[in-house]
Structure 1
Amino acid sequence: MEMTKLTGRIVTPNDVEYRMARVNNNLSVPKFPKVIVFCQNANDVVNALKWARENRIPFRVRSGRHSYENFSLVDGGLIIDVSEMNKITVNCEKMTAKIEGGANLGHVYHSLWKYGTTIPGGTESSVGLAGLTLGGGIGMLSRWFGLTCDNLLEVEMVIADGHRGAKLIKANRNHNSDLFWACCGGGGGNFGIVTSFTFKVHSISKVSIFSITWGWEDFEEVFDVWQHWAPKTDERLTTEIELKSKEMNQIIAQGEFVGDSSMLKKLLRPLTDTGSPTNIFIKEVPYIDAVQFFDDPSGNVPSHHKRSGSFLEEPFSKKAILTMKHFLANAPNKNSNIWHQSLGGKAGEPDPKDTAFYYRDAIIAQEYNTIWNKPDEERENLRWVEELRDALSPYTTGDYVNWPDQFIRDWPRNYYGENFTQLREVKTSYDPFNVFKFPQSIPPFIRWF
């Protein structure tokens, strides 16, 4: 039988492009693949998966390079990279967009803006739409338009076929509906390789944005007011608050309101009346300007970092707030922070079992972040994140699968809650040989063939 050949743009360690092609956003977990194939179309993806299976070589799937634990890289194996598959087709009559699996958020937002439309997604422009969507997808429009996956209509995906093959299939609410359910929060790389998504899009023109800054002395009061207000305010307003280290002496709340600035000013009174704000910024802008406002350039630059997270289903007690304050007063470096985004609204309407994204009852998503420059600083930074997560665990639940953490002991329950068993059933149906696997991939149930 003739062996399959790799097609697409192929990069190996002998090529000058290899160094840049190998690197992901997290430099702290380096991996050195044997081959990287930048697929140009779905046929290249099929060939890459067949080639990996025929040659019995380990492989990983990659699009935006933002896998926090670099699960999209593997030593000595094949990287199936879809980032050069990024075509976008908008149907204004049906208000839908077909987006290839390698498109990043910056490209998506700017392309859809030409038609006065958007989808709710994250904020960093270089993040891949695929990973974001497959894990759920939270961002500055979540409370008004839902999670990214809530706006998904269909996926086209290359899956493993038989013992050595690969094939392209579709999944939506009527066809392969169990796989479609799993693609709405079940995490990237578990079931196959998405070559395209079809989304419903929303009309958008102007929005209002805000930023309010306080000093360290307002820490407890500001966070307490924000956490009680943010998940319950007007659904058109999604907000975030970043608690920075004591050394940085800065607390920043920001957000986006699908409405005018005069209304936003009224909605913000609980925040602007709290503590002693050092800066208050409120402005009505074209939507694409809001996209650029929230895009943190530093988040798009590869660095040595550690992330983890959790969800809040009820506001923090004073003791929990003081726990955060203690850790930020004793942070390993000034760039350590705890970030929160408000949920609720449309993001909280589905039942936890309606999609694979389980944490519909959460009112806040919480992320723990640290970044460092020197290799000998790694241990201290890793320890800070893990000790912080453990200290807050009595007050939090789970973790967002798009913020994976290799040190989480019961990761299936933390990422997927009570949906894990159903996700294993889907895995068993579509990938019974566990072809798509990585350290925290969903395992199939054992079948005797």
Structure 2
Amino acid sequence: MSRTRLTGKIVVPGSPSYRKDRQNLNLSIQKYPCIIVFCQNRCDVKNALKWAREHRTPFRVRSGRHSYENFSLVNRGLIIDVSEMKDIVYDPEQQMAYIQAGAELGTVYQQLWDNRVTIPAGTSHNVGLSGLALGGGIGMLTRAYGLTCDSIEEIEIVVPCEKHGAKVICASHTKHRELFWACRGGGGGNFGIVTAFKFRVYPVGNVSIFSITWNWEDFHASYNSWQNWAPFTDSRLTSQIELFASGTITASGEFTGSPKELEKLITPLLKTGTPLTVMIKSIPYIEAVNFFNSPAGNLAAPFKRSGSFIYEALPDKAIETMKQFLENAPNQQTTIWQQALGGAVMEFNPEETAFFHRKAIIAQEYNTSWTCKYQKQENICWVEGIRYALKPYTKGDYVNWPDRAIKKWPCAYYGSNYKRLRKVKTEYDPYNVFCFSQSIRPYPPNGHYWLL
């Protein structure tokens, strides 16, 4: 008989909040867990993992509900939700921040800003810090300070042990080093349940931002100008471009220098085509955080998203392909979004952390959403169609933008790092306790392949 009881806030079917509590951001994939436990501390997390193992109950781990394919949900199983574990403690002497795994990014930015420090992270306010950081983490300070995972100094994580057990360990540059390596880009839900991070922080004050918009006639010229400039300009400047099916192109960015310097840096864009709008200004960093916050990324809706990395500038044929797909998009909300990499991202070799795509110059995402069920297949086909059409010019995908349609996902997400990730998985989770359709697999014991 089980000796472990679930602790924390427990929600089951029939609970008043069940319908709201079971939903993730992507409403196109509906799942119905039998129990959701909102953990309040690491003891609740340990108990939930032990309970799931003792009862042989399928489970998933959830933080910010942003899993594009809803890998953090499971039918008739247990959801271990850490979103109510959200303490943030700043240590000014060490220039470190202790942040629990359930903290939302907007709250992290605001509380660190109160101390005039920050971490390089994403743009959606309600994304969970844990999933973002474990997959890599890109945002408007990426080229200046690196990926979110590059600033992690220590990870507190609950891992399986013994037959039905669970234990808390800390992984860092000196302790459980292979696990620490794997958790910086190896994705969430693969090795254990992260409960807290220790981050190195960076001082911040005012930053300069820009935004330039072109109309459709400047599609080729504006995109080509941006892609040949953005990944190679001053590393203090991180920029993005979004190509809208509605007929406009917008490039924007954040610079840790002055507006005068920024204006000089973006001259190649200013001289391209006929910009409809141009904005350059200096603002407090927290206002820049709000400026780049993606409203669409914060709203629950039926959607399909996927992505890839660009290692060399796209030729004219690929640019025309993007244009044609957008002109034949299923709706006006469809976009192709890209962010420049390079800079501090390339200061690491691909094998130094589990995040493999260090040499890519651009990360790109294909986005569409819909309102009626009958539109679902058309929108999914559009995303898969453009990903396939651009495949000759791109590589892989970002693990934080998972796509069930990618058959060779280990190579797409992790490249040559997958073999090492499997070794870490075999050491810390040999019985594949943490398992979902695109989770890292351990090596089989004694030559038997029942785990593959």
CA distance in 1, matches of 2:400, 2:326: 23
CA distance in 2, matches of 1:199, 1:447: 36
- AA matched with 1:135: G
Q: Structure 1 residue aligned with 2:371, among 359, 365, 373?
A: 373
Shift of 1:162: 1.4
CA distance in 2, matches of 1:348, 1:133: 17
- State the match for 1:311 in structure 2: 309
Shift of 1:217: 0.6
Report 1:17-416 matches (<5 A). Answer: 17-245=17-245, 248-416=246-414
Shift of 1:341: 0.1
Q: 1:248-298, CA deviations, whole angstroms, 9 ceiling, x for partnerless residues?
A: 111010110001111111111111110111111111000000000001222
Q: Is the 8 A contact 2:396 2:411 kept in 1?
A: yes
CA distance in 2, matches of 1:139, 1:222: 22
Q: Is the 8 A contact 2:2 2:55 kept in 1?
A: no
CA distance in 2, matches of 1:113, 1:206: 11
Q: 1:52-103, CA deviations, whole angstroms, 9 ceiling, x for partnerless residues?
A: 0111110000000000000000000000000000001111111000100101
CA distance in 2, matches of 1:394, 1:163: 46
Q: 1:302-349, CA deviations, whole angstroms, 9 ceiling, x for partnerless residues?
A: 001000000011100000100101100110111111000000000111
CA distance in 1, matches of 2:153, 2:294: 29
- AA matched with 1:338: I
CA distance in 2, matches of 1:298, 1:141: 21
CA distance in 2, matches of 1:113, 1:346: 22
Q: 1:22 to 1:2 in 2, by over 3 A?
A: closer
- AA matched with 1:154: E
Q: Structure 2 residue aligned with 1:441, among 422, 439, 443?
A: 439
Q: Secondary structure at the match of 1:98?
A: strand
Shift of 1:2: 5.1
Q: Percent identity?
A: 57
CA distance in 2, matches of 1:76, 1:2: 19
Q: Secondary structure at the match of 2:390?
A: helix
Q: 1:376-400, CA deviations, whole angstroms, 9 ceiling, x for partnerless residues?
A: 0000000010010000000000100
CA distance in 1, matches of 2:114, 2:182: 31
Q: Secondary structure at the match of 2:56?
A: coil
CA distance in 1, matches of 2:110, 2:42: 24
- State the match for 2:11 in structure 1: 11
CA distance in 2, matches of 1:300, 1:433: 36
Aligned residue pairs, count:
447
- State the match for 2:421 in structure 1: 423
CA distance in 1, matches of 2:281, 2:129: 28
CA distance in 2, matches of 1:308, 1:239: 20
CA distance in 1, matches of 2:112, 2:85: 17
Gaps of 5+ in 2: none
CA distance in 2, matches of 1:348, 1:308: 23
Shift of 1:170: 0.6
Q: Secondary structure at the match of 2:254?
A: strand
Give TM-score scaled by structure 2 length. 0.98
Shift of 1:201: 0.2
CA distance in 2, matches of 1:304, 1:364: 26
Q: Secondary structure at the match of 1:229?
A: coil
- State the match for 1:432 in structure 2: 430
Q: Secondary structure at the match of 2:144?
A: helix
Q: 1:177-217, CA deviations, whole angstroms, 9 ceiling, x for partnerless residues?
A: 00000000000000000000000000000001111111111
CA distance in 2, matches of 1:213, 1:67: 30
CA distance in 2, matches of 1:92, 1:30: 44
Q: Is the 8 A contact 2:2 2:51 kept in 1?
A: no
Q: 1:202-236, CA deviations, whole angstroms, 9 ceiling, x for partnerless residues?
A: 00000011111111110000000000000011100
- AA matched with 2:148: T
Q: Secondary structure at the match of 2:208?
A: strand
Shift of 1:409: 1.2
Gaps of 5+ in 1: none
- AA matched with 1:134: L
- AA matched with 2:196: S
Q: Secondary structure at the match of 1:106?
A: helix
CA distance in 2, matches of 1:438, 1:201: 33
- AA matched with 1:193: I
